[in-house]
Chains A and B, each alone.
Chain A
């Protein structure tokens, strides 16, 4: 039961990723794209955790953890760039 739920979830995430990816390419503004990038990071976390559950391994966990922490930092750096241009001032 759980296994099939995991696969269904992964399907949903996949659809969300395709949509977000479309937004990333399409824009129209750079802010749309940054948000899309951040969303893609978030979906990747979900995807990777589901994958771990499906394969009954905890090895993916750290990758998800890192994407969560560092992906966020990527996004803030992008935002700071849009706001001020100079990200370390």
Chain B
């Protein structure tokens, strides 16, 4: 099996939960779990080879010239992370099934969660740095959605926004760093970068690259001084916290450090920065965690501190330290996920997370209590549990340090203090929550959660114990292969066993344990001391800072942006004039060599019509209805010109667009003033006329030069190949649906998105409805005049027939899906005009969004269809058939594509027009929108 499936399957899984019946909660959870589980099986299938030291790769070239490839690469490090992401992810899916209440939109939650999971898998398995970065950003976005899942609360929104701002900014820094790495190494492929040896470290840009990459990693992994977003992200639903803040999101930064370890470490700058930042984070997190009354707050700061520990290990630079870091990544993920889930259960059963209220829960929920206590002891680093092992390795490594010279003895000391603090807050969690008297002021009596909600916690706690007792057996191989990936070929002997004899690290552990108990026993004094400091709300500070940034940017913006269309146009014209000046002076008109079409009387008349109508539009631009009327005459003139000069397709398109634009203008004009006030002073008017005149003259000259140029154009190619290559004689249509089908596909997608955007923007809009017309006269009482009704209705079949006719003949004669779509839309709009919304709603239930979706899907599937025959996307097919009665006819795949265009156009046009038309309907439709 291809390893790309490990990412692609969960990515496909994003839609799976939305397909399930939302009321059947078990069904939703099962359907969600299937694809990640399949991905896990594929991972396990590849695991033996990777554990044996192989690197599995899969690369598709896209634009290799500029280093753009789609490439997946799984080595030991990626395997370790993939197992964590998928394993814990599956447990979270099970847990969330019972955690979410029936009011929460479960399908949407799972969708976000799986999107996040796929993004994480993408980060760890990417073989190209740029691709990794794209997934990196995707985790920022999907975590934003997850943190802000309960978007009705301000805390969730603020927390989500803060996380996105910080990690997003870090992501931009990382992008810059990656691009620089690509410049230095000459490739963005991970393989090439990892094999570049000391090239990066010795390069003069090294400090910049290091700083940028580290900013990316530190923001993501909540390292000091960017740590403050993580506690605020705790407003997410607990399954999300359990997933994002134990095994995934924050570990992405750590992963990046480990990934880049072979090429970026090995320089003092790395050691000093990474280890000091790690140390600071470790101490700050552990100290703050002690004072948090909120259970999730305690866990959040403990996460920060453990991340600091891992960072510190990676910054130490010894090989064993890096392995210890990998080991602690696994251990921390396991015990922290189980702790979060335990806290979620407690929150669920007591209705609060305040440790001053929840006490003595052991009595009420002994089973859960035992699970939480074991996990918390592992967090404290008590022997026989997994947390102890990696902490021992950590203590041992601190003793080897010399990164900060003569002061290096501080590191083991500070590490022991951090260890003691960690013991103290773990103890507080255990003692305050499960013992320490009776619960205070709870709204309900706590009891054990549903059976299946505990299973994920049980699995993880069992792992804590098993890994704690049989480390070498369970994770030895995994750590070795991950270690090889991080350190390169040489790997030290990893002392993965519990008893190392009486040595210094053991003494440090004992000191930490005793110190922790001491700190907890004297906690009253400490709390007293801490209460002297004013608690700073990071949210307030962040908001204030954000506000300052925004005001600053606004001030700059105000200097260059006057919010005036004339102003934009004036600058645009001036800029273009400057840019065009040189080439224009060298332009020679060669019109004499070309046969010029003779100017006949009707051409003169038509030109005059267009020119006078255009001029009249400008003169009357303040009387808006009149201007709309005049501009439609200009449009009519233009379409006549197209017809006259052999562009019947354009003529048909122009006339349909003209009509639909008129309707749109009228719909909008109703809500707007009927006249535009006079704003321009004479001087400005003169300037604008001058600019416009010069620019118009230039454009006319350029057009003339273009039209009279006797060079060969690509048109000849299209003319020659249209029939043989695309199977149609209408070159315009063949270009649209075949030669440049990809462009058209992009355009209809944009059209669909634009329509949906307008739909969303106008939803729930309340507008002032003028009670009289512009002269102050009341409107006519007759809403739907009889003649209008009758004529509208009789025009519908006629127009639909024309539309079908134009559509079917499009491939060979003027016409096609776009024009046909516009005609259909106009015919339906006419029914709205003649009969009103109510009448239509009763007779014709049309889901215009569905039209757009169907159209885009048909176009996409037609394009993908060519893959079945091993041809590139959107290769068209056509053939001729003969039927008895009909005679010879042609079938082309382009026809199907054109159908997609048709449906999208109808859907988009109707969505916009019908939506604008409904703005005036006060009852009952507008209520539905809210």
> What sequence of 0s and 1s flags, for each residue 45-83 of chain A, a beta carbon within 8 Å of any chain B beta carbon?
001100100000001101101110111111011111111
User: Total number of A-B contacts with CB less than 8 angstroms?
Assistant: 149
Task: Indicate the member of B643, B652, B782, B815 with the most A CB atoms within 10 Å.
Answer: B643
**20 extra interchain contacts, Cβ-Cβ under 8 A, other than A40-B633, A81-B666?**
A17-B605, A24-B633, A33-B626, A51-B643, A59-B648, A60-B648, A62-B806, A63-B655, A66-B655, A69-B798, A73-B826, A80-B833, A81-B625, A85-B770, A85-B779, A86-B769, A87-B666, A88-B913, A88-B917, A89-B921
Alpha-carbon distance between A48 and B602 when the two chains are bound, in angstroms: 11
Chain A residues contacting B773 (CB-CB under 8 Å) are: 82, 85
Chain B residues contacting A83 (CB-CB under 8 Å) are: 779-780, 782, 785
CB-based contact B780/A74 at 8 Å: no
Q: What is the minimal beta-carbon distance from A48 to any residue of chain B, in angstroms?
A: 6
> What sequence of 0s and 1s flags, for each residue 658-671 of chain B, a beta carbon within 8 Å of any chain A beta carbon?
11001100110110
> What sequence of 0s and 1s flags, for each residue 822-845 of chain B, a beta carbon within 8 Å of any chain A beta carbon?
010011011011101100000000
CB-based contact B633/A77 at 8 Å: no
Chain B residues contacting A89 (CB-CB under 8 Å) are: 783, 836-837, 917, 920-921
CB-based contact B779/A63 at 8 Å: no
Q: What is the minimal beta-carbon distance from B57 to any residue of chain A, in angstroms?
A: 56
The residue that B918 contacts in the complex, of A17, A70, A88, with Cβ under 8 A, is A88
Alpha-carbon distance between A80 and B823 when the two chains are bound, in angstroms: 20
CB-based contact B629/A69 at 8 Å: no
CB-based contact B814/A62 at 8 Å: yes
Alpha-carbon distance between A59 and B829 when the two chains are bound, in angstroms: 27
CB-based contact B640/A80 at 8 Å: no
Identity of the chain B residue whose Cβ is nearest the Cβ of A66 in the assembled complex: B655
Q: Which 6 A-B pairs rank lowest in CB-CB distance, beginning with the nearest?
A: A88-B917, A70-B659, A83-B780, A88-B832, A63-B651, A63-B643
Known A14-B602, A73-B795; contact A81-B670, beta-carbon cutoff 8 A: yes
A1 located at the interface, meaning its Cβ lies under 8 Å from any Cβ of chain B in the complex: no
CB-based contact B830/A73 at 8 Å: yes
A30 located at the interface, meaning its Cβ lies under 8 Å from any Cβ of chain B in the complex: yes
A25 located at the interface, meaning its Cβ lies under 8 Å from any Cβ of chain B in the complex: yes
CB-based contact B663/A66 at 8 Å: no
Alpha-carbon distance between A82 and B520 when the two chains are bound, in angstroms: 81
How many residues on chain B are close to A (CB under 8 Å)? Answer: 67
Chain A residues contacting B390 (CB-CB under 8 Å) are: none
Q: What is the minimal beta-carbon distance from B801 to any residue of chain A, in angstroms?
A: 10
Identity of the chain A residue whose Cβ is nearest the Cβ of B635 in the assembled complex: A74
CB-based contact A86/B920 at 8 Å: yes
Identity of the chain A residue whose Cβ is nearest the Cβ of B809 in the assembled complex: A62
Chain A residues contacting B652 (CB-CB under 8 Å) are: 62-63, 66
The residue that B632 contacts in the complex, of A62, A74, A82, with Cβ under 8 A, is A74
> What sequence of 0s and 1s flags, for each residue 781-814 of chain B, a beta carbon within 8 Å of any chain A beta carbon?
0110100100110010011001000100000011
Q: What is the minimal beta-carbon distance from B784 to any residue of chain A, in angstroms?
A: 9
Which range holds the interface residue count of chain A?
35 or more
Known A80-B788, A87-B666; contact A65-B636, beta-carbon cutoff 8 A: no
A residues contacting B by CB (< 8 A) are 10, 14, 17-18, 21, 24-25, 30, 33-34, 37, 40-41, 44, 47-48, 51, 59-60, 62-63, 65-67, 69-74, 76-89
Alpha-carbon distance between A33 and B770 when the two chains are bound, in angstroms: 23
Alpha-carbon distance between A30 and B629 when the two chains are bound, in angstroms: 10
Identity of the chain A residue whose Cβ is nearest the Cβ of B653 in the assembled complex: A66
B916 located at the interface, meaning its Cβ lies under 8 Å from any Cβ of chain A in the complex: yes
CB-based contact A85/B670 at 8 Å: yes
Chain B residues contacting A34 (CB-CB under 8 Å) are: 629
The residue that B914 contacts in the complex, of A21, A74, A85, A88, with Cβ under 8 A, is A88
CB-based contact A65/B788 at 8 Å: no
The residue that A88 contacts in the complex, of B648, B782, B806, B837, with Cβ under 8 A, is B837
Q: What is the minimal beta-carbon distance from A39 to any residue of chain B, in angstroms?
A: 11
Q: What is the minimal beta-carbon distance from B804 to any residue of chain A, in angstroms?
A: 13
Identity of the chain B residue whose Cβ is nearest the Cβ of A25 in the assembled complex: B616
Chain B residues contacting A59 (CB-CB under 8 Å) are: 648, 813-814
Identity of the chain B residue whose Cβ is nearest the Cβ of A51 in the assembled complex: B644
Identity of the chain A residue whose Cβ is nearest the Cβ of B913 in the assembled complex: A88
Alpha-carbon distance between A40 and B633 when the two chains are bound, in angstroms: 8
CB-based contact B830/A76 at 8 Å: yes
B469 located at the interface, meaning its Cβ lies under 8 Å from any Cβ of chain A in the complex: no
Q: Among residues 346 to 400 in chain B, which have CB atoms less than 8 Å away from a CB atom of chain A?
A: none
Q: What is the minimal beta-carbon distance from A76 to any residue of chain B, in angstroms?
A: 6
CB-based contact A62/B636 at 8 Å: no
Known A44-B640, A48-B643; contact A88-B667, beta-carbon cutoff 8 A: yes
B235 located at the interface, meaning its Cβ lies under 8 Å from any Cβ of chain A in the complex: no
Chain B residues contacting A44 (CB-CB under 8 Å) are: 636, 640
CB-based contact B643/A60 at 8 Å: yes
B609 located at the interface, meaning its Cβ lies under 8 Å from any Cβ of chain A in the complex: yes
Identity of the chain B residue whose Cβ is nearest the Cβ of A37 in the assembled complex: B629
Alpha-carbon distance between A25 and B609 when the two chains are bound, in angstroms: 12
CB-based contact B648/A63 at 8 Å: yes
Q: Supply 8 A–B pairs (Cβ within 8 Å), ascending by A.
A: A14-B605, A21-B612, A25-B612, A33-B626, A59-B814, A76-B788, A82-B773, A86-B670
CB-based contact B806/A76 at 8 Å: no
Alpha-carbon distance between A41 and B595 when the two chains are bound, in angstroms: 32
Chain A residues contacting B655 (CB-CB under 8 Å) are: 63, 66-67, 70-71
Alpha-carbon distance between A14 and B600 when the two chains are bound, in angstroms: 13
